[in-house]
Structure 1
Amino acid sequence: MSAFAAAVTALFADPNIGGDAVYTPEGGAPVLVRIVTRRADAVTDFGDARIWSDTTRVDLLVTEVANPRPGDRVEIEGEAFLIQGEPVRDRERLVWTVDLRPA
C-alpha cells in the first residue's frame, strides 16, 4: 500500500471525517462501508435565473465498492439514497465520488 493510499484509508477510518453506511448494489446484497459525506449547496444558472439546491455527495473507497452504478442504494443513518449519474474516481483511483438523491 502506498503512503497516499494509507493516508486516504486513515481519513475514512477517522470518526471525525468518515462514517458508516450501507451500500447495496442493484440486485445485490448489502455491504457495510465507510464514507465521507459532502452536503454542499449547488447553484445552477438556467437562463437568467439561478437555481439553488441541496446536494448530497459521498466518497466511497474503491477497495470497498469496486463498481458503483446509477440506481445502487446507499443508506446513511437510516436515510436511503440512490446513486444518480456516473460515479467518478479520483486521479489515484482510490476513491469514488457519487451524487445521491433521496430514494
Structure 2
Amino acid sequence: MSVFAAAVDLLFADTNIGRDAVYTATGGAPVLLRVVARRADAIADFGDARLWSETTRIDLRVTEVPAPRPGDRIEIDDDAFLIQGEPVRDRERLVWTVDLRPA
C-alpha cells in the first residue's frame, strides 16, 4: 500500500471527516461504505451573468466503488441521492469525486 493510499484510508476513517453511507449500483445490492461529503456552492458564468447553485459532491474510495455510474444511488443519513454526470478520479486514482442530485 502506498503512502497516499494509507493517508486516504485514514481520512475516510476519521469520524470528523468520513461518514457512513450506502451505495447501490443500478440493479445491484446495497453496500455500506465511507464517504467524504463536500457541500460546496458552485458559481458558473453564463454570458455576463454569474449563476450560484448549491451542490452536493462526495468522494468515494476506488477500493470500495470501482466503477460508479450516473444513476447509482447514495444514501447518507436519511437523504437519498443519485449520481449525476461522469465521476472523476484523482491523480493517484484512489478517490472518485461524484456530483449528486436528490433522488
Whether TM-score is above 0.5 comes out as yes
Partner of 1:101: 101
**What's the offset of the Cα at 1:3?**
1.4
Partner of 2:22: 22
Q: After the TM superposition, which residues 45-64 of structure 1 pair with which residues of structure 2 at under 5 Å, given as runs? A: 45-64=45-64
Within 1, Cα distance between the matches of 2:19 and 2:100? 16
Letter in 1 for 2:101: R
Letter in 2 for 1:50: R
Within 1, Cα distance between the matches of 2:31 and 2:18? 16
Structure 2 gap segments, 5+ residues each:
none
Letter in 2 for 1:21: A
- Bigger CA drift: 40-49 or 90-99? 40-49
Within 1, Cα distance between the matches of 2:38 and 2:11? 14
Partner of 2:80: 80
Give the number of equivalent residue pairs: 103
- CA-atom RMSD in angstroms: 0.6
Within 1, Cα distance between the matches of 2:102 and 2:52? 17
Partner of 1:70: 70
* Structure-2-length-normalised TM-score: 0.97
**What's the offset of the Cα at 1:74?**
0.4
Partner of 2:2: 2
Partner of 2:40: 40
Within 2, Cα distance between the matches of 1:21 and 1:46? 34
1:63 is paired with a residue of what secondary structure?
Answer: coil
Which runs of structure 1 show a deviation greater than 6 angstroms over 4 or more consecutive aligned residues? none
Structure 1 gap segments, 5+ residues each:
none
